[in-house]
Amino acid sequence: MQIPTNHISLATTLRNRREKLAKLINFPAILWSGSRSSRNFPANNFPFRSSSHFLYFAGLPMEEAVVRLERGKLELFMDNAPGSSQLWYGEMPTRDRLAEIINADAAFPMQELKSRATNAATIPVQNPTTKITQSDILNRDIYASNHPTGIDLELTKAIISLRLSHDAMALTELKQAAAVTIKAHKAGMAATKDAQFEANIRAAMESVIISHNMTCAYPSIVTVHGEVLHNEQYHHPLQIGDLLLTDVGAETPLGWASDLTRTWPVSGKFSPTQRDIYDVVLAAHDACIAKVKPGVEYLDIHLLAAQVIAEGLVNLGILKGKAEDLVEMDAHALFFPHGVGHLLGLDVHDMEDLGDLAGYEIGRVRSHRFGLGFLRLNRPLIPGMLVTIEPGFYQVPGILNDPEMHQKYQDIVNWEKLEKFSDVRGIRIEDDVLVTENDAEVLTQELPSDVDSIEYSN
Amino acid sequence: MQIPTNHISLATTLRNRREKLAKLINFPAILWSGSRSSRNFPANNFPFRSSSHFLYFAGLPMEEAVVRLERGKLELFMDNAPGSSQLWYGEMPTRDRLAEIINADAAFPMQELKSRATNAATIPVQNPTTKITQSDILNRDIYASNHPTGIDLELTKAIISLRLSHDAMALTELKQAAAVTIKAHKAGMAATKDAQFEANIRAAMESVIISHNMTCAYPSIVTVHGEVLHNEQYHHPLQIGDLLLTDVGAETPLGWASDLTRTWPVSGKFSPTQRDIYDVVLAAHDACIAKVKPGVEYLDIHLLAAQVIAEGLVNLGILKGKAEDLVEMDAHALFFPHGVGHLLGLDVHDMEDLGDLAGYEIGRVRSHRFGLGFLRLNRPLIPGMLVTIEPGFYQVPGILNDPEMHQKYQDIVNWEKLEKFSDVRGIRIEDDVLVTENDAEVLTQELPSDVDSIEYSN
Q: What is the pLDDT of residue A456?
A: 55
Contacts of B130 in chain A (CB under 8 A): none
Burial B64-97 (b: 16+ CB within 10 A, else e): bbbbbbbeeebbbbbeebeeeebbbebebbebee
Distance CA A39, CA B51 (A): 8
CATH for A168-453, options being 1.10.730.10, 1.10.10.1100, 3.90.230.10, 1.20.1250.20? 3.90.230.10
A204 — contact with chain B (CB < 8 Å)?
yes
Alpha helices (runs of H) in B23-83, residue ranges in sequence order: 52-58
A43 — contact with chain B (CB < 8 Å)?
yes
Query: Is A361 strand, coil or helix?
Result: coil
Burial of residue A305 (number of CB atoms within 10 Å: 0-12, 13-18, 19+): buried
Beta-strand relationship, B73-77 and B106-108: parallel
Distance CA A159, CA A54 (A): 11
Which of the four pLDDT bands, split at 50, 70 and 90, describes residue B453? low
Identify the CATH number of the domain defined by range A7-163. Answer: 3.40.350.10
- For B415, left (φ over 0), alpha (ψ -120 to 50), or beta? alpha
- For B241, left (φ over 0), alpha (ψ -120 to 50), or beta? left
Q: What is the pLDDT of residue A454?
A: 59
- C-alpha torsion sign, points A263, A387, A356, A140: positive
Give the end-to-end CA distance of chain A in Å, rounded to a whole number.
33
Closest to B213 (Cβ–Cβ): which among A234, A396, A398? A234
Contacts of A172 by beta carbon, 8 Å cutoff, 6+ apart:
none
What's the DSSP call for residue B117? -
- Taking Cα atoms as reference points, which of A322, A316, A288, A286 lies closest to residue A302? A288
> What are the structural domain ranges in chain B?
7-163, 168-453
Distance CA A338, CA A366 (A): 13
Q: What is the mean pLDDT of residues B339-368?
A: 96
B41 — contact with chain A (CB < 8 Å)?
yes
Closest to A218 (Cβ–Cβ): which among B42, B44, B91? B44
Distance in Å, alpha carbon of B106 to nearest chain A alpha carbon: 27
Res. B457: pLDDT tops 70 = no
Angle, CA of A210, B424 and B331, to the nearest 5°: 120
Percentage above 70 pLDDT, chain A:
98
A376 — contact with chain B (CB < 8 Å)?
no
Distance CA A291, CA A283 (A): 12
pTM of the model: 0.97
Distance in Å, alpha carbon of B439 to nearest chain A alpha carbon: 30
pLDDT tens digits for B145-176?
668 999 999 999 999 999 999 999 999 999 99
B88 — contact with chain A (CB < 8 Å)?
yes
Distance in Å, alpha carbon of B158 to nearest chain A alpha carbon: 19
- Taking Cα atoms as reference points, which of B341, B196, B186 lies closest to residue B262? B186
Distance in Å, alpha carbon of B227 to nearest chain A alpha carbon: 8
Angle, CA of B98, B103 and B108, to the nearest 5°: 55
What's the DSSP call for residue B341? -
Beta pairing partners, A243: A265
Q: What is the pLDDT of residue B458?
A: 38
Contacts of B404 by beta carbon, 8 Å cutoff, 6+ apart:
none
Distance CA A432, CA B250 (A): 34
pLDDT tens digits for B425-451?
999 999 999 999 999 999 999 999 998
Q: Which amino acid is located at A5 in the chain?
A: T
CA distances, B387 to each of A12, B32, B169, B289 (Å):
51, 26, 17, 10
Angle, CA of A323, A329 and A331, to the nearest 5°: 65
Distance CA A397, CA B86 (A): 9
Q: Least CA distance to A347: which residue of chain B?
A: B40
Q: Least CA distance to A204: which residue of chain B?
A: B207
B188 and B246 Cβ atoms separated by less than 8 Å: yes
B307 and B324 Cβ atoms separated by less than 8 Å: yes
Burial of residue B286 (number of CB atoms within 10 Å: 0-12, 13-18, 19+): middle
pLDDT tens digits for B382-422?
999 999 999 999 999 989 999 999 899 999 999 999 999 99
Q: Least CA distance to B38: which residue of chain A?
A: A126
B76 and B16 Cβ atoms separated by less than 8 Å: no
pLDDT tens digits for A388-402?
999 999 999 989 999
B458 — contact with chain A (CB < 8 Å)?
no
Are A199 and B207 inside 8 Å of each other by CB? Answer: no
Burial B110-128 (b: 16+ CB within 10 A, else e): eeebeebbeebbbbbbbbb
- Report which secondary-structure segment, H or E, holds A73: strand A73-77
Q: What is the pLDDT of residue A455?
A: 57
- Residue of A31, A35, A41 to mutate when probing chain B, most B C-beta within 10 A: A41
Count the residues in chain B. 458
**How many Cβ contacts (< 8 angstroms) between chains A and B?**
179
Contacts of A83 in chain B (CB under 8 A): 398
pLDDT tens digits for B284-322?
999 999 999 999 999 999 999 999 999 999 999 999 999
Distance CA A235, CA B212 (A): 9
Distance CA A389, CA A339 (A): 9
- C-alpha torsion sign, points B112, B114, B115, B120: positive
Q: What is the mean pLDDT of residues A331-336?
A: 96
Contacts of B204 in chain A (CB under 8 A): 207, 211
B224 and B266 Cβ atoms separated by less than 8 Å: yes
Residues 339-368 (B) with a CB less than 8 A from some CB of A:
346-349, 351-353
Contacts of B123 in chain A (CB under 8 A): none
What is the pLDDT of chain B when averaged over all its residues?
Answer: 94
pLDDT tens digits for A280-322?
999 999 999 999 999 999 999 999 999 999 999 999 999 999 9
Angle, CA of A351, A354 and A358, to the nearest 5°: 60
Query: Is B152 strand, coil or helix?
Result: helix
B310 and B280 Cβ atoms separated by less than 8 Å: no
Are B207 and A204 inside 8 Å of each other by CB? Answer: yes
Alpha carbon dihedral B408, B412, B414, B420, in 10-degree steps, equals -80
Res. B275: pLDDT tops 90 = yes
Q: What is the pLDDT of residue A458?
A: 38
Q: Least CA distance to A221: which residue of chain B?
A: B89
Q: What is the pLDDT of residue A286?
A: 98
A228 — contact with chain B (CB < 8 Å)?
yes
Q: What is the DSSP annotation of A47-72?
A: PP---HHHHHHH-S--TT-EEEEETT
Q: Which amino acid is located at A79 in the chain?
A: D
Burial of residue A93 (number of CB atoms within 10 Å: 0-12, 13-18, 19+): middle
Please indicate whether residue B456 or residue B1 has the higher confidence score (pLDDT). B1
B213 — contact with chain A (CB < 8 Å)?
yes
A129 — contact with chain B (CB < 8 Å)?
yes
What's the DSSP call for residue A167? -
Query: Is B441 strand, coil or helix?
Result: strand
B274 and B265 Cβ atoms separated by less than 8 Å: yes
Q: What is the pLDDT of residue A237?
A: 97
Distance in Å, alpha carbon of A428 to nearest chain B alpha carbon: 14
Q: Least CA distance to A232: which residue of chain B?
A: B89
- Report which secondary-structure segment, H or E, holds A434: strand A431-435
Number of Cβ within 10 Å of residue A132's Cβ equals: 12
